[in-house]
Amino acid sequence: MNTERVAHLIRELLTEFGEDPNRQGLLKTPERVAKAYEFLTGGYHQDLKAVINEAVFDSEANNMIVARDIEIYSLCEHHMLPFFGRCHIGYIANKKVLGVSKLARIADYYARRLQIQERLTSQIAREIMHVVDAEGVGVVMECRHLCMMMRGVEKQNSIMSTSSVLGSFHNDPATRMEFMELIGRTMP
């Protein structure tokens, strides 16, 4: 990303708002916003292989592995406003497991770009399925969307839930139920 060019565009935007980009409080704002966007959209420029960094380990276990309450911060692609919340990931290993921090890194990799929550949820699920060749994967995400809270319908307390279930999590109701119980949800 060309941060200098983005800063220039933000400066133009400030003028469109009716602001004076030369007033003291705003002087460094274009650069700050450009750097913030560089971070928040960093997923576009990251190498997923480097993110996972060979943290895939052999394992004989085939029990369910669950990581709850992974914090998610992303930007909605319709308004470029944040949505944020929690993600719960479960999978059943099939000879390979993933280092536990890598689940969160994969979530960030897909969150740090313009997204819709539904796609983010399924991209995380498909990536884990692919990386460890899992028997099954389940991802549940619950987020608040600032574009709904600050504008539009102004629903301050609504939380949007999305889920993606693959493999045995999709085909076997008992597996899916075990996952939902482990993340503290009852079946809808």
Binding footprint of Zn ion on the chain (CB under 5 A)? 76, 78-79, 147
Altogether, the residues listed in the chain come to a count of 188
> For residues 18, 19, 20 and 23, what is the CA-based torsion angle, rounded to 10 degrees?
160
Tell me how far, at minimum, the Cβ of 143 lies from Zn ion, in Å: 11
- Three-state DSSP class for residue 157: coil
Q: 57 has which bridge partners? A: 97
C-beta closer to Zn ion: residue 76 or 165: 76
C-beta closer to Zn ion: residue 78 or 119: 78
Q: Which residue has the tokens 């406003």?
A: 81
C-beta closer to Zn ion: residue 56 or 116: 116
Three-state secondary structure readout of 31-58: HHHHHHHHHHCHHHHCCHHHHHCCCEEE
Tell me whether strands 136-145 and 82-92 are parallel, antiparallel or unpaired. antiparallel
C-beta closer to Zn ion: residue 79 or 185: 79
Tell me how far, at minimum, the Cβ of 77 lies from Zn ion, in Å: 7
C-beta closer to Zn ion: residue 8 or 78: 78
Q: Which residue has the tokens 């600032």?
A: 146
φ/ψ (deg, to 5) at 80: 55, 35
Tell me how far, at minimum, the Cβ of 135 lies from Zn ion, in Å: 35
Tell me how far, at minimum, the Cβ of 19 lies from Zn ion, in Å: 23
- What amino acid occupies position 182? L
Tell me how far, at minimum, the Cβ of 70 lies from Zn ion, in Å: 21
Distance CA 122, CA 60 (A): 27
Tell me how far, at minimum, the Cβ of 38 lies from Zn ion, in Å: 21
What are the tokens at 4?
Answer: 């200098």
C-beta closer to Zn ion: residue 104 or 146: 146
Closest among 145, 131, 72 to 99, alpha carbons compared: 131
